[in-house]
């Protein structure tokens, strides 16, 4: 997040909101990781142990985001004229690589357990306490996901929105675990390690998406056509603007950098042109909350 001068929020209040949400995410995911890990060990459920790794992943992600948001929240300076927003994408990229490496090991172990069951090795059904732990995890992750999505949308933080998606995925994973444990209690012992295999594959899928999103942010990818059209329409409605002859916009960290050329009446003075260009900038930054900079050039509209 940047200085947020264009968002209808008080800066100090916004910072408090970010810090509070970040700490809630870190502590909640840490508690869920420890809770599910202990229950998984006591109950003998491999699925709930695998599910605890979802929470460990979310805890690590939240911790990285907590540090990343603090750094990205620093205003632009002489050495970083475009701000520090890309740190969030770098953090997402690094944690995604770590998750994939750890999950590959878990995947191999889970597949081995499924193979043992297939070969006739009888695995003990997990204690039913694992079922209740999974239900608690479903509820906790769903509430946390909704909260982080609300905060992330308001402050336009891709890292916090990513956290929200991860906790939502964790809720779905815990629901799968609950069903698997019920199945094992009915005699289908292969369901517990099979759920672990499904969870690890899903973790890899999520990590690949995280890497893809982070690369787009780090490489200043172009914004979508709908947002570009919206910027064009906003600028065109400013009094004095005859035509938008050039418009391009790219992501810079969690914000947007706009490059545009506007045409005004050729008979207007330089001062009048300056006033119109300022109005264009102010209108765009007011309507589009996460614009971090506008490079605007004026040309005479020669008929």
What mean pLDDT, rounded, does the chain reach?
79
Is pLDDT at 28 greater than 70 in this prediction? yes
Give Cα separations from 15 to 3, 8, 108, 288 (angstroms): 10, 13, 42, 20
Is pLDDT at 4 greater than 70 in this prediction? no
Is pLDDT at 167 greater than 80 in this prediction? yes
| DSSP one-letter code for 240 | T
DSSP letter for each residue of 275-295:
HHHHHHHHHHHHHSTTEEEEE
| Of 46 and 289, the one with more pLDDT | 46
pLDDT tens by residue, 244-291 = 888 888 776 556 778 889 888 888 888 888 889 889 988 888 887 667
Alpha-carbon distance of 242 to 82, in angstroms, equals: 30
| Of 160 and 58, the one with more pLDDT | 58
% of the chain beyond a pLDDT of 70: 80
Give the pLDDT of residue 5: 37
List the domains of the chain with CATH numbers.
11-218 (1.20.1510.10), 225-301 (3.30.70.1350)
| Of 85 and 120, the one with more pLDDT | 120
How many residues in the chain?
A: 303
Overall average pLDDT of the 99-105 stretch: 80
Is pLDDT at 8 greater than 50 in this prediction? no
Number of C-beta neighbours around residue 147 at 10 A: 17
* CB of 96 closer than 8 Å to CB of 214: yes
pLDDT tens by residue, 226-243 = 878 888 888 888 998 888
Give the pLDDT of residue 91: 74
Is pLDDT at 1 greater than 60 in this prediction? no
Strand order through the sheet with 255-265: 241-252, 255-265, 291-301
253: left (phi over 0), alpha (psi -120 to 50) or beta: left
* Helix (H/G/I), strand (E/B), else coil: 248: strand
Give the pLDDT of residue 139: 94
Give the pLDDT of residue 3: 36
The model's confidence at residue 68, banded by pLDDT at 50, 70 and 90, is low
* CB of 248 closer than 8 Å to CB of 207: no
Alpha-carbon distance of 108 to 126, in angstroms, equals: 21
Alpha-carbon distance of 110 to 214, in angstroms, equals: 29
Number of C-beta neighbours around residue 246 at 10 A: 12
Which pTM value belongs to this model? 0.62
Element counts in the chain: helices (H) and strands (E): 8, 3
Q: Which residues are CB-contacts of 104 (< 8 A; sequence separation ≥ 6)?
A: 204
Give the pLDDT of residue 138: 93
| 45-59, 216-230, 282-296: the lowest-pLDDT one | 216-230
């Amino acid at each position: 997040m940047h200085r947020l001068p264009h968002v209808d929020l008080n800066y100090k209040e916004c910072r408090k909101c970010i810090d509070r949400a970040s700490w809630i995410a870190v502590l909640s995911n840490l508690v869920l990781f420890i809770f599910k890990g202990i229950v998984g060990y006591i109950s003998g459920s491999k699925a709930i142990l695998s599910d605890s790794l979802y929470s460990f992943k979310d805890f690590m992600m939240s911790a990285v985001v907590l540090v990343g948001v603090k750094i990205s929240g620093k205003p632009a300076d002489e050495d970083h004229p475009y701000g520090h927003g890309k740190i969030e994408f770098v953090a997402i990229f690094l944690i995604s690589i770590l998750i994939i490496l750890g999950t590959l090991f878990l995947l191999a172990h889970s597949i081995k357990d499924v193979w043992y069951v297939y070969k006739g090795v009888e695995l003990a059904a997990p204690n039913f306490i694992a079922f209740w732990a999974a239900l608690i995890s479903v509820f906790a992750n769903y509430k946390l996901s909704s909260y982080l999505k609300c905060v992330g949308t308001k402050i336009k933080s891709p890292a916090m929105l990513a956290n929200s998606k991860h906790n939502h995925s964790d809720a779905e994973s815990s629901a799968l675990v609950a069903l698997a444990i019920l199945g094992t209690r009915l005699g289908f012992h292969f369901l517990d390690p099979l759920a672990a295999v499904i969870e690890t594959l899903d973790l890899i899928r999520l990590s690949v998406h995280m890497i893809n999103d982070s690369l787009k942010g780090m490489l200043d990818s172009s914004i979508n056509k709908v947002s570009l059209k919206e910027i064009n329409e906003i600028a065109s409605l400013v009094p004095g603007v005859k035509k938008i002859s050039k418009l391009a916009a790219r992501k810079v960290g969690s914000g947007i950098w706009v490059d545009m050329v506007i045409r005004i009446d050729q008979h207007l003075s330089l001062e009048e042109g300056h006033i119109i260009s300022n109005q264009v900038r102010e209108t765009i930054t007011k309507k589009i909350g996460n614009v971090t900079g506008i490079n605007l050039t004026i040309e005479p509209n020669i008929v």
